[in-house]
Structure 1
């Protein structure tokens, strides 16, 4: 059996095993270790061990638990709830205003946490019950929360972009800057859709009752203070990193420390908050580490077989595809993989293969990182097996059915496809800010 067939057998075996519903890291690691043993004998078993040592020596990986801790500390201490109250009052005069405020909440939560699941959890537990109680259409607002949570892996400090930077060997500061404008563009497109649709169909998003809208200006200004603390934490953390004052790990430590101090300042740093934050941080961090460990093992064997060069040869020489056609095929493959895997698993499996190919085709890997994040979030929201759909079903109230969730996503999937097309057509939307900062 030639190396191309071995690589194809490994990849297809992994995909079949993933369909069994077992742990992602177990299936990926098993295929990698079994292939190493079959190809190189007992010496091949050193590859999983080497992968584990490589992971433990990966100093930037410290950013993951620190960023995750920061987000959960701000969430569990109730600071996110205060943010929603601020948006609730200030946007209440507008038809669909609470839905617009929910998008604003998601942007801020994304800037605090960097994970889409955190935005989904906050939106489903804080915003969704309030929106339904206020008479908002359940199909529309379910889509709003899913779309808003998708910003979590695009708006800095995106954890997924940190992982992409590690795997693709690209500067994380440039990736964060590249994701900022596309993330805000998508948020703006979501807001525009909500406002226009609620103007056409006022029953979908009624305004707040007059007694809740006409608060004294002093009370409204007091509510704005709820947004000062998380935004100050975000700008302190990200600003210091972008200016080169702190390293990536130091920046994450600044954010985690500032979030803890903020919770203490509000007298909410209780033992229950600390325990919940630490437990959730450990759970997600360990999940990331196991997946990365398995992917390093699989990738070492896969790359050792020359799979990257084989894929490039098939696309360019045998099929005769143009670089742009290959790029479209890669994005379609992410949408298919998104039916079965989460964004991290897709990244660690496919990025080691695709990133060298992207560079050899003449595309910018920073720009491609932004395309990747948008594409996998589209995959997350696409029926019938999108990851976010079932996550939303698990968190939504009983009156929101799976059929409602399926119906809710299509307008926002269309908006995200339009945003993806814009950034693909005009790469400077993603690259302008990184180039501007680099010049300084």
Structure 2
């Protein structure tokens, strides 16, 4: 093979410099020949700005990589070896609606969790299905690395409804490893963690420092106020008794389930103030980022990017691609088909666990039976995801209502119905599957 062709769907994303940095850093193990950054017409200005920065980064590196900018998705996908998806249907304006609509009902408004995550999934599933049709036709041997949120739910839709080879990816597990290393005041390469759960609902089952189990030591430090969160999640302190009885390390998103009342109050207060919702805060961050990106002298990933919630994306994504391409047989935390990995969940659903990655894909490491401390929550959210996948594909109103009514963060059918009707009404332009329904 002369070199690899990479197609990045959502190439105008402000995360793209992270991805380019990852390919540049791993040039000795990934012979990338072409990187196609593809976006839609509405994203052309951002694509040009990010794409030109990407070209400057490559030029500075001295590598022979051809960065191409295009609005032609099929051109980008044709004969690609790897396709990366990192797009946001409806942009940050749609995310803002996803966050504000639920707050009217005094329930959580968040882009990947609960009603907001449902709305985003409904907009995203029709688009990812079309992308997969292109991959099946134009690059049937390509691997799709899905970073588009809600990553686990979208990965499950791909696994169930297409023939595309796919692995879902999230930066939360790698971020947790780095945060645990910071808590222990050690280099992150000395820390390993066993992960189990679903995307944005994953627990660190065990944490190891140089091979020694230090899970309870980390839990003790978290109970004493050590930080383990992300830029997009308020850093509320964990309850000491909860952590000590859980005997596992919760991911930052667990705050939405374990501290729901505090988080909803925090979101309502922010939304009603000059601070605004997280989407509205990110709009300001993104505007500043693109002003920085547009500097013709800039030829590196700027440090301001870490103010977004997607830090470590390049480490996670490019490391995974390298593990597949180089048949590394190394462990990554990914979203894959269950196939009996977690006992009690259907075989065909997506889970987030450690997996051995080689040239044939990701092979999840068996977990077995889960303790009741986490099993019930996983089952409930997974049932919501299963219903949401089918609702997103079919546009079935009843399945949508069942999905929302089942979600543990939505208190009643009355609230679920109100949320669903408003989500459909405010997203009509992005929900072809719901046309002439409801």
Q: TM-score by structure 1 length? A: 0.26
Structure with bigger RCO (C-alpha 8 Å, 6+ apart): 1
- Tell me which protein shows more strand as a share of its residues: 2
TM-score by length of 2: 0.26
